[in-house]
A = this chain, B = another copy of it.
């Protein structure tokens, strides 16, 4: 079991490091993430590298018996890079090229940025691939920076050519006959930049897929040069993130998430989601790692709130759901910078360090939990994205809706939160809330399931290009939707002669109900 957190020693004089190592031992820390934001220290100018300080840190950690999750620092390029390659800075939908001065100032499709990323990753691999402290490679940080620049435009077109072969196929997929958007040539296509009115939702969805694949290429380019330990990256969850984590889970050696929800229900949902991605991608026993969370506090709308639960209590939510480790952001609170008020295990006024020692000690004798759920709920990030399309009949917060279903089911026992396409063999009950977008293969997948199936309103309305698929569920639910209201959502059904498939229940609203109190398939 891993226990530790992000460690940014470059913010402190070397004299503090020894104290850190000692405190880490006291807390039974066995893994720290180093180097996430160290690029400007590791490569202070375009042509110089400085690994001396990092050697010292890794050697010190190793001597203290602490393993290292070594990050490639590509999420935060140094000032010299952004000055030298202004075309590598991200551009907003409105055409604003962002400047240095925060983090994540990169365009993942900029050639100079891709080259510089592979270069620094290669240097780190060469120097530390055989270091005895190395346990895990941590590529980048929280992939998710949108960009709409001309590099992206070029790559988007290339990605679309691969996907659609001809412009005619794309026109059909994107329904460009609406609003006179029919393309005659690939070069007419641009990213979904600021435009006059509602954007084409299929273009927007494909751009999100393209961003996800662009990040994935960047990840794989680094993974290819790393060696000596498993390679992962930390997923950041959120409706704004253009990353398809279910798809990515097949490419990481270990599924790892950052998680900052304010309450238990949110944490449990995240944990079951991470395990679901790991299961679907074939990771043994659905193991996953909690890479970041906030020790002792929650971020709420009125500010940081001191947790009423101990670190051990919060950690148990994750541990009971298959986490192989509990990691915090961060070990030692920062002296300055934009996140100096982020809670930490050390140096933040709170007694969490004592709690950490207690948790660390208990983890030493604990093994990862095996979770065996016979109930699953489907969560699909493409549907989450699709529910963000403009001009839908009503506003659905898909993630919250699935989380509510999860909470309702979890009150009675373990629940897997699974992506479309996950193995369905072991489930007695499968709940599919508002799965708006369903490709032909998603339909096949659902029909391959033979247990109790509950489908709610808002499911199966469009295909993978967001084209309407009326009554696509009719053979399953044994009815046709003959009228719809949307405030609130209510489908009026007309039964079909064939009747519903055995075990299938359709709920015509978006309400979350207690399924045990509902007579299924009545």
Contacts and interface: CB of A to CB of B under 8 A. Distances in A.
A483 B198 contact: no
A94 interface: yes
A100 B99 CA distance: 26
Interface in A315-341: 333-341
A486 B304 contact: yes
B467 A336 contact: yes
A193 interface: yes
Interface in A85-116: 90, 92, 94-105
A177 interface: yes
B340 A466 contact: yes
Q: Which of A10, A487, A489 has the most CB of B within 10 A?
A: A487
Contacts of A485: 304-306
Nearest to A305: B487
Contact of A83 (B181, B188, B195): B188
A193 B300 contact: no
A196 B340 contact: no
A335 B105 contact: no
A215 interface: no
Given A194-B99, A303-B487, A484-B306, A78 B182 contact: yes
A201 interface: yes
Contacts of A467: 335-336, 340
Given A202-B336, A336-B468, A197 B102 contact: yes
Nearest to A466: B336
Contacts of A197: 102-104, 338
Q: Which of A37, A300, A349 has the most CB of B within 10 A?
A: A349
Contacts of A194: 92, 96, 98-99
Interface string A169-212: 00000111111111111011110111111111111000000000
A196 B105 contact: yes
Nearest to A44: B184
A348 B44 CA distance: 61
A196 to B, nearest CB: 4
A184 B392 CA distance: 50
B340 A175 contact: yes
Nearest to A175: B336
A80 interface: yes
A404 interface: no
Nearest to A463: B336
B104 A180 contact: no
A443 interface: no
Interface string A347-388: 101110000000000000000000000000000000000000
Given A11-B175, A350-B484, A484-B350, A98 B195 contact: yes
A40 interface: yes
A313 interface: no
Q: State the number of copies, please.
A: 3
A45 interface: yes
A40 B180 contact: yes
A14 to B, nearest CB: 13
A201 B487 contact: no
A391 interface: yes
Given A181-B100, A336-B466, A338-B391, A482 B351 contact: yes
Contacts of A83: 187-188
A185 to B, nearest CB: 7
A394 interface: yes
A77 interface: yes
Contacts of A96: 94-95, 194
Interface string A35-56: 0011111001100000000000
B487 A104 contact: no
A486 B79 CA distance: 34
Nearest to A481: B349
A470 interface: yes
A395 interface: yes
A408 interface: no
A40 B337 contact: no
B101 A181 contact: yes
Contact of A303 (B41, B78, B335, B395): B395
A101 B192 contact: yes
B350 A196 contact: no
Contacts of A334: 175, 178, 468
A482 B347 CA distance: 10
A237 to B, nearest CB: 16
A102 B481 CA distance: 30
Contact of A182 (B41, B101, B304): B41
A312 interface: no
A60 B305 CA distance: 65
B338 A199 contact: yes
Interface string A55-84: 000000000000000000100111110110
8 contacts: A37-B177, A79-B184, A83-B188, A100-B195, A101-B181, A178-B337, A305-B486, A349-B481
